[in-house]
Amino acid sequence: MYISGDNPCFSCIYHKPNKIRDIFINIEKKELYIQVIKENKLEKLTKYLTKKELSLINKEDKRNSNNIIIRRDKYEPSELNTIVKPKSSNSLIIVADQLTDQNNLGNIMRTSLLLGVDGIILPEHSSAPITSATSSTSSGAIEIIKFHISKNLSRTIEVLKEKGYWIYSLDMKGEKIDKNFYFDKRSVLIIGSEGKGIRKNIQDKSDFKISLHQQTYKGIDSYNAANSLAMAAHHYKLNFS
């Protein structure tokens, strides 16, 4: 697969250089990349091309302004047991249900990474696929954050409960998060898409339903999924900082 753009490609070089098969760079912009290529000993995988030659590498990517393209192995999901932390540890895991928008998924990955989330769980179906687009929308966070693809999300949540996690669903009718609200030190936060929300059978697995404070305006009824996650996950971090 191909990824492109400075942030996704630099992230891949820094964090997953062993997954790289080829690096293609605009020869006119060589000085912007040569140092990091040398530092990571990737000279043998790097080819310098004209802008026209570079545009022919990945014709599916319409962003011809990119000066770097990497061919890398496909992204591989993590096993659930690599995301779950020991019972004595603080831990926050995100479950994204019915999240089919690539921009939201990428933003959620970036936000989760920066807030120290241990991993993201996605259902095998009814979810945006992990592709080169995810690399761009997450600004390269996909290279670092762990994600698990669940074949049976209900069962996965039950496993997390058995591992000592408490399950919180973001729902507009749930208990408001305020300064007196405390998450459990081992928490799973479920978010849904703006349109469909969280499926009922998944929401029924929750121990708690929670919501965020917001003003009400006609035609604008909720935060987007990434913003909701950011506020709730930040509150979790404040509880244990």
pLDDT truncated to tens, each residue of the chain (241 aa)? 999 999 999 999 999 999 999 999 999 999 999 999 999 999 999 999 999 999 888 776 655 568 999 999 999 999 999 999 999 899 999 999 989 888 899 999 999 999 999 999 999 988 888 988 899 999 999 999 999 999 999 999 999 999 999 999 998 888 999 999 999 999 999 999 877 789 999 999 999 999 998 888 887 777 888 999 999 999 999 999 8
The whole-number pLDDT of residue 241 equals 82
The whole-number pLDDT of residue 35 equals 96
195 and 91 in a common domain: yes
Examine the fold and report which residue of 15, 40, 72 is the final residue of a domain before the chain moves on.
72
User: Under 8 Å CB-to-CB from 240, ≥6 apart: which residues?
Assistant: 90, 185
Examine the fold and report which residue of 72, 91, 107 is the final residue of a domain before the chain moves on.
72
The whole-number pLDDT of residue 33 equals 96
225 and 170 in a common domain: yes
58 and 110 in a common domain: no
6 and 33 in a common domain: yes
92 and 56 in a common domain: no
Domain count, the chain: 2
Q: What is the CATH number for 210?
A: 3.40.1280.10
132 and 92 in a common domain: yes
233 and 134 in a common domain: yes
208 and 98 in a common domain: yes
The whole-number pLDDT of residue 65 equals 61
d(CA 136, CA 108): 13
Residue numbers of the domain that contains 177:
80-239
Instruction: For residue 63, give the nearest of 6, 142, 107 by alpha carbon.
Output: 6
196 and 89 in a common domain: yes
User: Under 8 Å CB-to-CB from 38, ≥6 apart: which residues?
Assistant: none
232 and 128 in a common domain: yes
Instruction: For residue 149, give the nearest of 203, 195, 95, 185 by alpha carbon.
Output: 95
- Alpha helices for the chain (secondary structure H): 6-15, 34-39, 51-55, 80-83, 102-114, 132-137, 153-162, 200-203, 225-239
Examine the fold and report which residue of 15, 44, 72 is the final residue of a domain before the chain moves on.
72
